[in-house]
Structure 1
């Protein structure tokens, strides 16, 4: 059967068009895409720490939630890249918070009941650096959403300092002195696994909902975090407002027993 020359020519023309389109699609899949975000984070801080008062003295238990009253500095940034389904992601978080109270009873000495007239002047400073480095793998994608599996590790570098002065009758408590100070530092590495992604809202695909969750353990008994928010896309990138919660539970015998951050964040996301 003889094929009309016009149809044969049209078929050759369509094939010629399809070849570069397929090549472009393959090229796009093989191209690295990067994303960088800078955030301001304004968390409330909670947790419990046991500060040794001396070689032969008991410990002072203090709650960060009751003592911390101001944020000195907080910053957060992320950087990631993706090529096809595989990628990487890194998150760096730093905060410096502090607080002081005078004539307070917001502390505890394990094994002893504080006499009614005993109060303390306490000054607490908490510096925390969290660094997450992970690989990512795309497990779901459509024009309206994306979902990646995240697996990697997180470093927690925590430094706390407490200065105290105890007022009142402490004759029944074997404190080495009425006043003192103590610095504590821990560095924990934990393996983490989680999910991160986004979902668009509306037909114009300008508004979207970013989210992230992970859980892990290792040198810590348990760590987990959750972030969810809303973003709006521009030509250069997007603006995001979100809420982030981070929680650490330490193993027994560690002076810093628990630590949590809970609060809003706002920032800008750049894609290139």
Structure 2
């Protein structure tokens, strides 16, 4: 699965970033009145989600191998996440980019199926599975309300996702009457998705100086996917130069029944830093 916040006058603190997509960007501070000045924010953050879903890899023989992604993947190989946003008056915009490369190997696993059939009792497999995911969100926003303690924005935009899985396998054992795939091989499946989204974002500020901030973000959309939605709730602290924050982020895709990747969800903690000017 961005952050936005806003800025106050005098020695008041700036709002916290929503860790990539929600509080980071545009809003610079908690303001009693909407500022007509341009405000900018850039965030770097680390999101370490658990991944759940399933994919179908078609073999050379035409027999698909179905994989429950969450039973095999267990470690992050590469990641890059960042966000940028701007705000002028009531209007703002932000972009948020997530890249995750995750992979793992399993020996003597039975968490596979051949077509619609589970593996025969006498069969086990060795698998190497890699998942590469790129998610890019781009949206505009309108500030409905702003006070020293609360901001509330509505947003609309689009989210693009590129999801690719690669599988290597080796089966051992007797398939019996089940039509077997090749005993060894490799394959991949991929999906490119573009969805329109609408949502809300903002934050609540706590304390006498409003330096403690709770950012929130929620969107929902559809298009190439049946539905996609994303939510984030965090807690952060504002400094003069920007803010640091922790959050929990959830991103979900419910894909069409004939898609090679049927469903995908990413769920976990994030930590980030936002610079504002």
Per-residue CA deviations over 1:42-101 (Å, capped at 9, x if unaligned) read 1111101011122x4321111111101111122221111011001101110110001110
TM-score by length of 2: 0.85
Task: Please say if 1:269 is aligned against 2:258.
Answer: no
Q: Which has the higher helix share?
A: 1
Per-residue CA deviations over 1:192-242 (Å, capped at 9, x if unaligned) read 001110110111211000111100000011100111110001111110000
Q: CA deviation at 1:138?
A: 0.5
Q: Specify which of 78, 82, 90 is matched with residue 83 of structure 2.
A: 78
Q: Specify which of 69, 88, 92 is matched with residue 97 of structure 2.
A: 92
Q: CA deviation at 1:174?
A: 2.1
| 1:99-118 matches, cutoff 5 A | 99-118=104-123
Q: Specify which of 201, 204, 214 is matched with residue 199 of structure 1.
A: 204
Question: Once superposed, what is the RMSD of the aligned Cα atoms?
Answer: 1.4
Task: Please say if 1:214 is aligned against 2:219.
Answer: yes
Q: How many residues align?
A: 245
Task: Please say if 1:229 is aligned against 2:247.
Answer: no
1:58–1:109 contact (8 Å) kept in structure 2: yes
| 1:1-272 matches, cutoff 5 A | 29-54=35-60, 56-272=61-277
SS of aligned partner of 2:117: coil
Q: What does residue 15 of structure 2 align with?
A: none
Q: What does residue 17 of structure 2 align with?
A: none
SS of aligned partner of 1:65: helix
2:56–2:189 contact (8 Å) kept in structure 1: no
Q: CA deviation at 1:30?
A: 2.7
d(CA) in 2 for partners of 1:210, 1:176: 49
Q: What does residue 13 of structure 1 align with?
A: none
Q: CA deviation at 1:170?
A: 1.7
Which one is further off, 42-51 or 169-178?
169-178
1:222–1:250 contact (8 Å) kept in structure 2: yes
Q: Which structure has the higher relative contact order (CA within 8 Å, separation 6+)? A: 2
Structure 2 residue runs of 5 or longer lacking an equivalent are 1-33
TM-score by length of 1: 0.87
d(CA) in 2 for partners of 1:241, 1:156: 24
Structure 1 residue runs of 5 or longer lacking an equivalent are 1-27
d(CA) in 2 for partners of 1:113, 1:193: 40
Per-residue CA deviations over 1:83-123 (Å, capped at 9, x if unaligned) read 10011011101100011100010111233343211101011
**Higher alpha-carbon Rg:** 1
d(CA) in 2 for partners of 1:75, 1:171: 45
1:57–1:175 contact (8 Å) kept in structure 2: no
